[in-house]
Structures are given as structure tokens and as C-alpha cells.
Amino acid sequence: MTDSITVTDNRTGEAVEIPIVDGGISAGELRKLLPGVWFYDPAFMTTALASSSVTYLDGDGGILRYRGYPIEQLAERSSYLEVAYLLVHGELPNAEQLRTWTEDIRMHTYLHDNFRKRFLDGFHYDAHPMGMLVSGIAALSTFYPEAKDVVDPQVRHRQIIRMIAKVPTLAAACHRYSAGMPFVYPDNGLSFTENFLSMMWKVAEPRYEPDPVLAHALDVLFILHADHEQNCGTLAMRTVGSAHADPYIAASAAAAALSGPRHGGANEQVLRMLSQIGHVDNVDAFISDVKAGKGKLMGFGHRVYKNYDPRAKIVKQTADAVFEVTGRNPLLDIALKLEEAALSDEYFVSRKLYPNVDFYSGLIYQAMGFPTGMFTVLFAIPRVAGWLTHWQEMIDQDSKIYRPRQLYVGADRRDYLPLEQRK
């Protein structure tokens, strides 16, 4: 058996044999045979966007690996900053590399003071933190004009460090602004995640002492959210990056995509849904409504996973550790009942709809005291590492500007009518 396909153009009888390589066939070969005929693939259901060596995802097997390392091992044994290094550099760091990387990130956690004094002050008091974050990441571009030199690897690396370091500071600042609380400067004596918690919650104490269990749980969640191959946000990062816009602008576009309720915004919607259901007794009625097309079961389903999302399993285990400290989130019972009802219901089973990463994460965030508006921001903070890794890989591969084709189905040529002649 040959690992190839043969496509014949029945209009001419011409054929082309295309090898199947790494699970794909080259559209370039088809283009040679079929000039002017485009592949109609709305929502990229069957398109491989890139060759990538960042993240492996087997949706049927429920497998996720960063740079070859199983997500379960990384969640158990690594830290977010080490995982960010792994994503960006392709290999786990040795002790010296990790020390330098951590130090570099730590040295860049501060934001220009204009962010606090001028930029954030411009928002309405109840601005959604995700909207503030999207604009804040884009605004970072104006502080680092050198970032436009995207082909220089050293300049790129500086922006990668800056963005991983500054986004938590920006995220916490968005929260403090909406809570009417003074801005907390980074405490560079704390770890990455502890420092974020300090910037979120510090009040008048000389030094904020984060609960180690909660800091660790958040670090695990950061690991789980750090990358997820070619999702909608990463596509936005790559698309804007392919025009050689600077990485802040591109990451802002990625964060904008992430904010949608079908994507990272789902974690916020899950909490709203659980609150609306209100009681375990209402679960069956809610499931019936979903099956009748009255809304979606948020936190369920995935374009690629047709099996339990491996991240959701780890989130569920992490929830137990968090609830030991914070007390059990009363919405957990509703979530467990929903999961049980859906996983035994023909509608969900036949469509292979399983809980995704967003189903349980919001319960943890809520138990830790985060307002719902911050949930997607908490997804974005670690995903910055994944976006930047894909952006860097794309530029290293010297990718062309992204420019798909369309199948035009609009009006034929027609002449402009003056206003008085139109019906």
C-alpha cells in the first residue's frame, strides 16, 4: 500500500499523486493540478494550518503533550514558568537556564506608570476586565516600538520575556481598577503565581502571604492553559503575526478571540449557567432545554476532543485540593450532577460531548475569590506563552502572510443607480 492519494481532474483527465506526510497532504500539489479551484473548508474543519512542533493533541485518545511531555506529568511535576520555557525554547531548562529565565521574567514585571495613571483611568468603573486586558496588551506595543522588528530573534525574545512578565501585572491592575482598589506593585521576591495573587489581593499587610495550596493550584491551572495547538486564539495570533504586526498587537487579537463564549469565555459562562440552574433538582429540566436547542451546555464539547478533555480531569482533581482550603463551592454539586446526566444521555453521548477545561475551572476560581469577569483573564495569562511560541515558530518558518480565498456567491456585475431611481 502506498501512503499517498491520487486526485483526477475529470474535466481534463489529468491526475496528481500526492504523498501523505505527517498525516496531511500538501494543498500546494493540488493547486498545481487545479489552478483557480479553491478548497471550501469553512471554519477550517479539515485544514492543517501549519507544521508545528509545539503541542500534540489527539482528540479521540484524549491526549495532550507540550513538546512531547504529557500534560499529566507537567501538571504534577513542573511549574508554569518552567513550562513556558519549555514551550518557547522547545526543551526543558537545566537549573542554570531556569534560574536565568525566572530572573529575566522577574525583572520585567513592572508596567509603565502611565498604565495606572492614565490608561486604566480611562475605563468606565464597571469595564469588563477582559476588554481592559485586550486593549492593555495592544497598548504595550506603543511602549516598546522596537517590537516591530519581528525578524530579529533577539528583539523577539525580549518581547516574549516582557509579555509573559507583564500580562499578570496588567491583569491584576484591571481587577484592582474595577474593584476600586489601589494598584499593587509586583513583589519580585515571590514566585510568578504568588506574585500575581499578591497583586490581586494585597491590602495593607506589609507582605502578602499567599496560601501555598492555592498558589500551587493556580500554577497547575496556568500549566494546563499554557497552550492548546491551533485553536481560535492561536489562529488570530498567527494571522495578525503573519502580517508582521508586532507581537503585542497580535497577542491582543488572540486575547480578543479567546474572550468569546465559545472559546476561553466559556469558563465565565459556565458559572453563570450553574448559578441560573440554582439547584440539583433543576438539572434534568436544564438538560432537556439544551436538547431542545434552547442554549448550550457551557463547558461541554470541543472541536478536537471527542473524548474527556485531559485538562478537565486534572482541573477536577485540583478542585478537591482547593476546596479543602476554601470550603466546597456549593455549585459543585450542580456541576457534578450535570456531568453525570450529560454523560449518560444519548444526545451528548452520540455527539461525543464531554466536559472541557472550562467546565470545572470557574468553580475553582470562584472558590479562590476571583470575580467571574476575571475568569477568562486567568485563561489568557498563561496562554500568552503558547501564543508567543506559535508566533515565533511561524516567523522562524518564514511563513507567508495569511490570505485565504473565498467562493464568491454574491451579485453579478451591475451598474450603479442614482438614489432617485432606486425603489
Between residues 271 and 357, which has the closer beta carbon with respect to ligand CMC? 357
Look at strands 15-21 and 24-25 and give their pairing. antiparallel
- Is residue 228 part of the contact set for ligand CMC (CB under 6 A)? yes
- Minimum separation from the CB atom of position 255 to ligand CMC (A): 12
- Is residue 290 part of the contact set for ligand CMC (CB under 6 A)? yes
Total site size for ligand CMC, rule CB under 6 A? 20
- Minimum separation from the CB atom of position 357 to ligand CMC (A): 5
The catalytic position among 216, 309, 358, 390 is 358
- Is residue 112 part of the contact set for ligand CMC (CB under 6 A)? no
- Is residue 118 part of the contact set for ligand CMC (CB under 6 A)? no
Residue-wise DSSP of 157-209:
HHHHHHHHHHHHHHHHHHHHHHHT-------TTS-HHHHHHHHHH--SSSS--
- Is residue 254 part of the contact set for ligand CMC (CB under 6 A)? no
- Nearest-angstrom CA–CA distance, 334 and 280: 5
- Nearest-angstrom CA–CA distance, 171 and 128: 11
Between residues 3 and 346, which has the closer beta carbon with respect to ligand CMC? 346
Q: Among residue numbers 298 through 357, which ones bind ligand CMC (CB under 6 A)? A: 298-303, 351, 353, 356-357
| Residue 110: closest CA among 31, 183, 165, 152 | 165
Residue 302 is a catalytic residue? yes
- Nearest-angstrom CA–CA distance, 382 and 359: 18
Name 8's bridge partners: 15
The catalytic position among 112, 263, 333, 345 is 263
Between residues 214 and 312, which has the closer beta carbon with respect to ligand CMC? 312
Q: Return contacts of 282-288, CB within 8 angstroms, 24+ apart.
A: 283/334, 283/337, 283/338, 283/341, 284/341, 286/338, 287/338, 287/341, 287/342, 287/345
Q: Return contacts of 18-23, CB within 8 angstroms, 24+ apart.
A: 22/51, 23/48
Closest residue by beta carbon to ligand CMC: 301
- Minimum separation from the CB atom of position 311 to ligand CMC (A): 9
- Is residue 383 part of the contact set for ligand CMC (CB under 6 A)? no
Q: Answer yes or no: are the C-beta atoms of 388 and 163 closer than 8 Å.
A: yes
- Is residue 264 part of the contact set for ligand CMC (CB under 6 A)? yes
- Is residue 296 part of the contact set for ligand CMC (CB under 6 A)? yes
The catalytic position among 216, 225, 302, 390 is 302
Between residues 128 and 311, which has the closer beta carbon with respect to ligand CMC? 311
Q: Which of 194, 268, 358, 393 binds ligand CMC (CB under 6 A)?
A: 358
Residue 358 is a catalytic residue? yes
Provide the strand spans (E) within 43-178.
55-58, 63-66, 69-70
Residues of this chain that interact with ligand CMC (CB under 6 A) are 228, 231, 262-264, 266, 290, 296-303, 351, 353, 356-358
Active site residues: 263, 302, 358
